[in-house]
Structure 1
Amino acid sequence: MYVSLQNKVAIITGASRGIGRAIAEALACEGVRVVLNGTNDMLLQEVCSSLNKKEKRAVYVAGDASLPETASSLVEQAKTHFGQIDLLVNNAGINLRKSTVETSLDEWKRLIDINLTGTFLMCQAVIPDMIKQQGGKIINMSSTTGKTPHHNASPAYGASKAGINYLTMHLAKELAEHHIHVNAVCPGPIETDMSKQWSDEYRRSVLDRIPLKTIGTPEQVANVVTFLASDQSDFITGETINMNGGTYMN
């Protein structure tokens, strides 16, 4: 139990399913009040309803994370309902599995807009309040594909995650004097709705490349995010933490 997280307030993007939902559930279990974002109104309602069974700890804002108005609305809702913003988890993102020549300009722009620009806009929106209170934690969801090429990911995806890694380090340096910690988590293969669509052959090929011979779970990612959100990580900033069973090490 992380006592330091009791009654903190977190904004979590991409929170309607998979890793984002697991993060929301893990933080709520630690006493964090959460403002959730995603594009599927019905799924967000379901997550909020589940988290609010015992007490009112969750609200949501449906909207595109790549738009500045979504970021502004999330900040407004956090302050209106809970009075503050202590944590930001940038989890919203999309993937694309196309080669360079197959990727259209619209696909490139859309992926960069959601993954990288959306992360930037959310950081930009919460920073003034975190500076005012002289503290906060920002956790960006990246990928090991941002550090090393992957044959099954488009260059747009890898470029967006590499951009998130740099943004994380830059903000950590820029905001350290205000006691704002900025870190990123770089998962490898994780059991999500997407991985359930893999063929048996592809799953075997993924497992063959993982030294630990297992695929990660959303809950394991959420555990790392919860640690980074707590005061037990107070001497960690500017890190891009690998979570991939040993596939990529640095």
Structure 2
Amino acid sequence: MNQRPERVAVVTGGSSGIGLATVATFLETGFNVAFFGQNPDHVESARNRLVRRFGAHRILARCVDLALPKEISSFFREVEAHWQPVDTLVCNAGISPKGGNGASPFLTLDLAEWNRVLAVNLTGTMLCCQAVLPAMLERGFGRIVLIGSIAGRTVPRVAGTAYVVSKAGLAGLCRSLLASCAGSGVTVNMIAPGRILTEMTGPADSETNRAALGRIPVGRLGDVGDIAAVTGFLASRDAGFINGAIVDVNGGEFAPL
């Protein structure tokens, strides 16, 4: 007889960077994990690496476009049918368009770019939360972790307007979810990473990263494991009294008082 897993997590944008590190962290601590990305090659490569370490029965990987609501709902239905309702959701997926000269200046920002970024980063996240919340409320337990950005917390230095607005909007979504989850055993928190070395942020010795390093009191750039470790704790049962928090993981570059 197949025994249902104790914990089932979904990580959006889980095929690379922070998302992939988070998937591995959850698998290491006993979760079964479903994740998705947009690039088929990245998704397949990540799945193969994880299967070799943890086994195919604990992993479900798909391609999903967060700007397409039907793809989101279909993915979550598949996860529930494959295992059981999701008890942990990490909304990590996001896009930050940049051209050869960096992000689009505000005055020349194209409406199509604005709409696409908000559709993926903010609306897509909202739809993922809608997909999992009913079962969490019924069960009386759940963990939702939104991955924001230092760009949504203070004056942005690199990110474009649409990205900044989308990440700032996640804080409002977090507060709204608190009201919907009050007294239910479901917690909702947000992590705001600083400069983390990923494919999106480029090599450590780039001009942008060298400038960022000079602003970080701990004296180094962030690693994807720094974010995955915090996410893993917020998803744990030990974090049940942490609710509505925005956790700044940036080495001290931004320190609100």
TM over 0.5: yes
1: CA distance, partners of 2:206 / 2:133: 44
1: CA distance, partners of 2:142 / 2:233: 14
Q: How does 1:28-177 map to 2 (within 5 A)?
A: 28-53=27-52, 54-55=54-55, 56-96=57-97, 97-177=103-183
Q: Which runs of 5+ in 1 are unaligned?
A: 1-5
Give the CA deviation at 1:234.
0.5
Q: 1:194 aligns with which of 174, 197, 200?
A: 200
Asked if residue 16 in structure 1 is aligned to residue 15 in structure 2, the reply is yes
2: CA distance, partners of 1:106 / 1:138: 29
2: CA distance, partners of 1:195 / 1:154: 13
Paired amino acid for 1:85: V
Q: Which runs of 5+ in 2 are unaligned?
A: 98-102
Q: 1:214 aligns with which of 215, 220, 237?
A: 220
Give the CA deviation at 1:15.
0.7
TM-score by length of 1: 0.93
Structure-2 residue corresponding to 1:3 = none
1: CA distance, partners of 2:129 / 2:185: 15
Structure-2 residue corresponding to 1:227 = 233
Paired amino acid for 2:254: Y
Structure 1 pair 43–7 and aligned structure 2 pair: CA distance change class (3 A):
farther
Give the CA deviation at 1:199.
5.6
Contact 1:10 1:35 in 2 (8 A): yes
How many equivalent residue pairs?
A: 245
2: CA distance, partners of 1:229 / 1:83: 17
TM-score by length of 2: 0.91
Paired amino acid for 1:7: E
Give the CA deviation at 1:81.
1.2
Paired amino acid for 1:40: N
Q: Secondary structure at the match of 1:171?
A: helix
2: CA distance, partners of 1:163 / 1:156: 10
For the aligned residue pairs, the C-alpha RMSD in angstroms reads 1.5
Contact 2:143 2:187 in 1 (8 A): yes
1: CA distance, partners of 2:107 / 2:205: 25
CA deviations 1:8-51 (Å, max 9, x no partner) are 10111101111110000110111110111111223222222222
Q: 1:243 aligns with which of 240, 249, 253?
A: 249
Paired amino acid for 1:75: F
CA deviations 1:60-85 (Å, max 9, x no partner) are 22110122112212211221111221
Q: Secondary structure at the match of 1:183?
A: strand
Contact 2:13 2:94 in 1 (8 A): yes
1: CA distance, partners of 2:39 / 2:192: 25
1: CA distance, partners of 2:205 / 2:158: 14
2: CA distance, partners of 1:74 / 1:154: 30
Give the CA deviation at 1:109.
0.7
Q: Secondary structure at the match of 1:36?
A: strand
Paired amino acid for 1:124: Q
Q: Which stretches of structure 1, 4 residues or more, deviate above 4 A after TM superposition?
A: none
Structure 1 pair 248–151 and aligned structure 2 pair: CA distance change class (3 A):
same
2: CA distance, partners of 1:14 / 1:179: 26
Structure-1 residue corresponding to 2:100 = none
Give the CA deviation at 1:177.
1.9
2: CA distance, partners of 1:30 / 1:111: 33
